[in-house]
Amino acid sequence: MNNQAATEPVQELKQTGNNPPGKKLKIVLVGNPNVGKSLFFNQLSGGYVDVSNFPGTTVSVTKGNYRNYEVFDTPGIYGVSSFNDEERVARDIILEADIILNIVNSLYLERDLFLTQQLIDMGKKVTICLNFSDEVKRRNLKIDYQKLSDFFGVEVIPFSAVSGNGFNRLDFAIENAREGKRLYDISRIKNKTVYSSIPDAELIMIAEGDDIISERYGLPVAGFDERELIYIERRNAVNELVSNAEYEDSSSGRFFNLLGRLSIDPKYGIFVLLGVLTLMYFFIGDLVAQRLVGFTEGEIGNRLFEYNLKLYVGEFTPVDVTAELMNVEDEVTESRNFNFPAGIDKNSDAYVEMNQFIDGKNYALSFHYPNWFYKLLFGEFGVISMTITYLLFLLFPLVIAFYFAMAFLEDSGYLPRLATMMDRSLNKLGLNGKAIIPIILGFGCVTMATITTRILGNEREKTIATAILQFVIPCSAQLAVITVLMASAGFVPLMIYSFVILTVLITLSTILNKFLQGSYSPLLLDLPMMQFPKFNNLMKKTYYRTLGFMKEAAVWFFVGALIVGLFDITGLLKIFQDMLAPVTVHWLKLPKEAATAFVMGIVRRDFGTAGLFEMSLAPMQITVAIITITLFVPCIASLMVMLNERGLKTGMMIWAATWIVAFAIGGIVAQIIV
Amino acid sequence: MGNKTLDKASKGKFLKINSLPKGIHRIQLLRFGITEGDIVFCLERLPGGTVVIKKNRQEIAIGFDIAKNISCSYHS
Ligand SMILES: Nc1nc2c(ncn2[C@@H]2O[C@H](COP(=O)(O)OP(=O)(O)OP(=O)(O)O)[C@@H](O)[C@H]2O)c(=O)[nH]1
Ligand SMILES: [Mg+2]
């Protein structure tokens, strides 16, 4: 499993520009985590990969194009070796590189130039790109570029991937990449015959005790290890260089610095967290989920779009309309049927009567088409009507809000600090603080977050975190619908829901922690600067993620609606609902129609949750239904990713367990509260 | 001044790193820029022993299990 990340295919961005055929040179962007490689890559290739302010955003290699070159974005690493997934992925593409653009964060020269020296020792053609030049300027930091360049023997060029500074010298940077001055004299070992045919880059890795590379050349594992020696020498050289090439800035006591401090403070940290959650709640839960979606779903979706669509369709086919009048509490006070056996004729008595009945009142209309084809497309589960309302008027605004809030968090630098604060608590669950990062990202998209579990230290932690994600973390779209439903259910249901989900989370990881071999890996995490998120990046990220979501969800929603619609028409849905009635009605105490939501939930959890939307449920029933569907099987996309990341056995076990746990817990809660 | 382990260091003090643990964590700390003899600042110490140190502009969070194997002394 361990090597899997290394062998996976490289993602390819769409080709931009014309590239003549022939073998293209490979430019590889290499650097420590969170130094701006991905932003640099986006600038250079015109493509888009995720940019966030925490180490470990990028976990796989992405390919793009620049002029006649192939460009690769890589996961951040602190050194070229094979200690973890990110390193194994980066290692192989670095070994293949023709040119390396070493991206360096100018504010952390001591840390970053260690890797630089290693790349140079490997004999690679390198140009050093000193990123974050905007911050250098802002802080009045002085860096002696000439000194750095003399020391390493390669070009050193200031860049800012944010402002675009330096990119006019990009071609110069690429064309002048060259081998630099090596610190480690490789000729000493090159003389030995066993090593003579091994390329320099690989040889230095072998000298540093890299077992995987040793194996590749048929050498004994740990046959030769000068790592300690080389590292100390390299570290000392870099420290000395930096102390001579950089002049201290005025320490700027900014607001965000202070916020960063407070967020890891044992006393105030919890208030920062509560503050963040409160802000999120007001933005997503109140402003968007209630006010905005109330408008888009209720007014635009139902009143305007569905009403007019169904009315229009009704002109061509027989239709029965049920009109319900409601009081201010949304309780139905009066209901009447209007039949249009020959389609709706706007001059007919029935139509006039209907309009009089609803005029000026709080009403809801439902249309029933006896004709199966119209029913399939425009009926209750109409492939067209339902999909569009759910997607455009319910999920779209919610998902945008969620992704925006997530992007804000990701780009602020808060997540690694939250990880630090939660470290000891998570140790008890068999994880270290870092695990909070994929878990929080899971609230955006469980599928994406499952991939991010790669940043965790060992297989065991990845399994526990993946299980948590698949069991208890509702993704943004689902959470969005939950927020809307919960808002209508009230405070007590919300408390019950949170309590149950949290209990399952803790029980689940405690059990896994007990039964899986091994223990957590200790935390070692560098904290990025706190910053106010870059507006541009927020917009871009929200845009790309929303677009990605809509594309994927649209397909699955259509498919899901088609299946449910066909089930409905053929009568299978009824049979199915009756079959599941013992579970839905007696065990979960829900109306038997709720079975439909679970069928929809297999396709996608958010789709299933949206299915609950149309049912009139009591607050406690909503609680049960939402608990069950939160714990229920993950969407197909995230199942696929999980199988790929964790392997068939673990993946299927987690998947099967979600079924059992969902219905077991849902039922127990139902027996108690409904 | 007396040696102590990093997990017991006080917040707001400068520390001299006397020895690092062996193995992978040593490698990682070296890469982060922490070596024996370095002076670092203890930015925070959380209950349970997770410590945040600062060297130059760089802040590093170190879990209890690594911190307890780093020996250091106060430096003024
Ligand atoms: N001020 C400033 N911020 C930058 C610059 N380049 C990148 N950033 C910010 O630094 C953070 C990290 O950027 P990424 O591009 O995700 O870094 P990365 O090197 O790809 O990170 P990993 O994928 O985790 O290795 C983001 O918040 C960026 O907005 C820069 O030149 N100046
Ligand atoms: Mg990246």
Residue matched to tokens 């709640």: A281
Indicate yes or no: CB of B28 within 8 angstroms of CB of A78. yes
Q: What is the whole-number distance in angstroms between the Cα of residue A61 and the centre of ligand 1? A: 16
**Three-state SS at A334:** strand
Cβ atoms of B64 and A424 closer than 8 Å: yes
> What is the predicted pLDDT for the residue at A2?
41
Q: At CB < 8 Å, which residues of chain A contact B? A: 78-79, 83, 107-108, 110-111, 114-115, 227, 231-232, 235-236, 239, 260-261, 264-266, 416, 419-421, 423-424, 427, 432-433, 522-527, 529
β strands within A550-601, DSSP E: none
Cα–Cα distance measured from residue A123 to residue A117, given in angstroms and rounded to the nearest whole number: 10
Q: What region, left, alpha or beta, does residue A41 occupy, with left being phi > 0 and alpha being psi -120 to 50 degrees?
A: alpha
Q: Whose atoms come closest to the Cα of A53: which ligand?
A: 1
Q: Whose atoms come closest to the Cα of A103: which ligand?
A: 1
Mean pLDDT, residues A520-549 taken together: 91
Cβ atoms of A80 and A72 closer than 8 Å: no
Cα–Cα distance measured from residue A281 to residue A483, given in angstroms and rounded to the nearest whole number: 9
- Using 50, 70 and 90 to split pLDDT, how confident is the model at A131? very high
Q: What is the whole-number distance in angstroms between the Cα of residue A58 and the centre of ligand 1? A: 11
Cβ atoms of A284 and A483 closer than 8 Å: yes
A368 phi, psi to nearest 5 deg? -125, 120
> What is the predicted pLDDT for the residue at A168?
95
When mean pLDDT is compared across A106-110, A288-292, A545-549, B56-60, the lowest value belongs to A288-292
- The residue ranking higher by pLDDT, A216 or A257, is A216
**Is the CB of A76 within 6 Å of ligand 1?**
yes
**Is the CB of A534 within 6 Å of ligand 1?**
yes
**Three-state SS at A372:** helix
Superfamily the domain B4-74 falls into: Ferrous iron transport protein A (FeoA) (2.30.30.90)
> What is the predicted pLDDT for the residue at A16?
43
**Is the CB of A65 within 6 Å of ligand 1?**
no
Q: What angle, rounded to 10 degrees, do the helices at A227-245 and A109-121 form?
A: 130
CB atoms within 10 A of CB A180: 23
Q: What is the whole-number distance in angstroms between the Cα of residue A645 and the centre of ligand 2? A: 19
CA distances from A429 to A182, A204, A424, A515, B3 (A): 45, 39, 9, 12, 32
Asked if the C-beta of B66 comes within 8 angstroms of chain A's C-beta atoms, the answer is yes
Which residues in chain B are contacts of A111 at CB distance < 8 A? 31-33, 58
User: What's the N-to-C CA distance of chain A in angstroms?
Assistant: 45
DSSP conformational letter for A318: -
**Three-state SS at B14:** strand
Size of interface A-B (CB pairs under 8 A): 107
**Distance between B3 CA and the closest CA of chain A, angstroms:** 22
Of A83, A227, A524, the CB nearest to B63: A524
User: Is pLDDT at A220 greater than 80 in this prediction?
Assistant: no
**Is the CB of A650 within 6 Å of ligand 1?**
no
Which residues in chain B are contacts of A421 at CB distance < 8 A? 46
Cβ atoms of B4 and B70 closer than 8 Å: no
Cα–Cα distance measured from residue A457 to residue A273, given in angstroms and rounded to the nearest whole number: 25
- Using 50, 70 and 90 to split pLDDT, how confident is the model at A15? very low
User: Is pLDDT at A370 greater than 80 in this prediction?
Assistant: yes
Q: What is the whole-number distance in angstroms between the Cα of residue A38 and the centre of ligand 1? A: 7
> What is the predicted pLDDT for the residue at B23?
85
B48 phi, psi to nearest 5 deg? 100, -15
**Distance between A266 CA and the closest CA of chain B, angstroms:** 6
> What is the predicted pLDDT for the residue at A12?
61
For atom 11 of ligand 1, the residue with the nearest CA is A53
Q: What is the whole-number distance in angstroms between the Cα of residue A34 and the centre of ligand 1? A: 5
Indicate yes or no: CB of B64 within 8 angstroms of CB of A416. no
Mean pLDDT, residues A591-606 taken together: 80
- Using 50, 70 and 90 to split pLDDT, how confident is the model at A17? very low
User: Is pLDDT at A19 greater than 60 in this prediction?
Assistant: no
When mean pLDDT is compared across A18-22, A488-492, A593-597, the lowest value belongs to A18-22
**Is the CB of A411 within 6 Å of ligand 1?**
yes
> What is the predicted pLDDT for the residue at A301?
83
Tell me, yes or no, whether A107 lies in a domain: yes
User: Is pLDDT at A390 greater than 90 in this prediction?
Assistant: no
pLDDT digits (tens, 9 = 90+) for A613-663: 777 788 899 999 999 988 987 777 788 889 988 999 999 999 999 989 999
Mean pLDDT, residues B24-53 taken together: 92
> What is the predicted pLDDT for the residue at A252?
57
Q: What is the whole-number distance in angstroms between the Cα of residue A445 and the centre of ligand 2? A: 18
Q: Which of A29, A35, A112, A535 to mutate to test the pocket of ligand 1 (most atoms within 8 A of CB)?
A: A35
DSSP conformational letter for A178: B
CA distances from A86 to A17, A57, A376, A431, A590 (A): 30, 10, 48, 19, 46
Percent of chain B with pLDDT strictly greater than 70:
99
- The residue ranking higher by pLDDT, A435 or A347, is A435
What chain A residue is nearest to B36 in terms of C-alpha separation?
A232
CA dihedral A238→A243→A249→A251, nearest 10 degrees, is 80
Tell me, yes or no, whether A241 lies in a domain: no
Indicate yes or no: CB of B33 within 8 angstroms of CB of A261. no
CB atoms within 10 A of CB A590: 27
> What is the predicted pLDDT for the residue at A668?
95
- Using 50, 70 and 90 to split pLDDT, how confident is the model at A125? very high
User: Is pLDDT at A512 greater than 90 in this prediction?
Assistant: yes
> What is the predicted pLDDT for the residue at A489?
82
Ranges A49-58, A137-146, A167-176, A633-642, most confident: A167-176
Cα–Cα distance measured from residue A74 to residue A626, given in angstroms and rounded to the nearest whole number: 39
Indicate yes or no: CB of A235 within 8 angstroms of CB of B47. no
User: Is pLDDT at A5 greater than 50 in this prediction?
Assistant: no
pLDDT digits (tens, 9 = 90+) for A555-590: 888 888 888 888 888 888 888 889 888 988 999 999
User: Is pLDDT at A275 greater than 50 in this prediction?
Assistant: yes
Indicate yes or no: CB of B44 within 8 angstroms of CB of A83. no
Q: Please give the tally of structural domains in chain A.
A: 2
Percent of chain A with pLDDT strictly greater than 90:
41
What is the pTM for the complete model shown?
A: 0.85
User: Is pLDDT at A1 greater than 90 in this prediction?
Assistant: no
At which of A118, A153, A183 does a domain end? Answer: A183
Which residues in chain B are contacts of A527 at CB distance < 8 A? 52, 59-61
User: Is pLDDT at B58 greater than 50 in this prediction?
Assistant: yes
**Distance between B60 CA and the closest CA of chain A, angstroms:** 4
> What is the predicted pLDDT for the residue at A333?
86
Q: What is the whole-number distance in angstroms between the Cα of residue A35 and the centre of ligand 1? A: 5
At which of A126, A156, A183 does a domain end? Answer: A183
Cβ atoms of A437 and A81 closer than 8 Å: no
Cα–Cα distance measured from residue A379 to residue B51, given in angstroms and rounded to the nearest whole number: 60
Residues of B numbered 6-45 whose beta carbons fall under 8 angstroms of chain A's beta carbons: which are they? 24-25, 27-33, 35, 43-44
- The residue ranking higher by pLDDT, A534 or A189, is A534
CA dihedral A64→A65→A71→A73, nearest 10 degrees, is -30
Indicate yes or no: CB of B61 within 8 angstroms of CB of A523. yes
| Ligand 1 nearest atom to the CA of residue A51, by list position | 16
pLDDT digits (tens, 9 = 90+) for A302-348: 778 888 888 888 888 898 988 888 887 777 888 889 888 888 887 88
**Is the CB of A137 within 6 Å of ligand 1?**
no
> What is the predicted pLDDT for the residue at A234?
92
A543 phi, psi to nearest 5 deg? -60, -50
A485: CB partners within 8 A, 6+ apart: A609, A612, A613, A622, A626
> What is the predicted pLDDT for the residue at A9?
54
Q: Which of A35, A39, A143, A163 to mutate to test the pocket of ligand 1 (most atoms within 8 A of CB)?
A: A39
Mean pLDDT of chain A: 87
A22: CB partners within 8 A, 6+ apart: none
**Is the CB of A57 within 6 Å of ligand 1?**
yes
Range of the domain at A544: 453-673
B35: CB partners within 8 A, 6+ apart: A232, A235, A236, A239, B17, B20, B29
Cα dihedral sign, A406-A417-A436-A641: positive
Mean pLDDT, residues A445-453 taken together: 87
Nearest to A110 by CA among B58, B60, B62, B53: B58
Mean pLDDT, residues A495-502 taken together: 93
Mean pLDDT, residues A421-447 taken together: 91
Indicate yes or no: CB of B30 within 8 angstroms of CB of A232. yes
CA distances from A174 to A25, A71, A92, A99, A155 (A): 11, 11, 21, 7, 10
Of A421, A524, A525, the CB nearest to B25: A524
Percent of chain A with pLDDT strictly greater than 70:
95
> What is the CATH classification number for the domain harbouring A140?
3.40.50.300
User: Is pLDDT at A69 greater than 90 in this prediction?
Assistant: yes
Cα–Cα distance measured from residue A624 to residue A500, given in angstroms and rounded to the nearest whole number: 10
A407 phi, psi to nearest 5 deg? -60, -40
Indicate yes or no: CB of A266 within 8 angstroms of CB of B65. no
When mean pLDDT is compared across A81-95, A196-210, A251-265, A653-667, the lowest value belongs to A251-265
Q: What is the whole-number distance in angstroms between the Cα of residue A96 and the centre of ligand 1? A: 24
Q: Which of A162, A165, A410, A532 to mutate to test the pocket of ligand 1 (most atoms within 8 A of CB)?
A: A162
Tell me, yes or no, whether A124 lies in a domain: yes
- Return the structure tokens found at B34: 């922490």
User: Is pLDDT at A244 greater than 80 in this prediction?
Assistant: yes
At which of A183, A205, A225 does a domain end? Answer: A183
Mean pLDDT, residues A504-532 taken together: 92
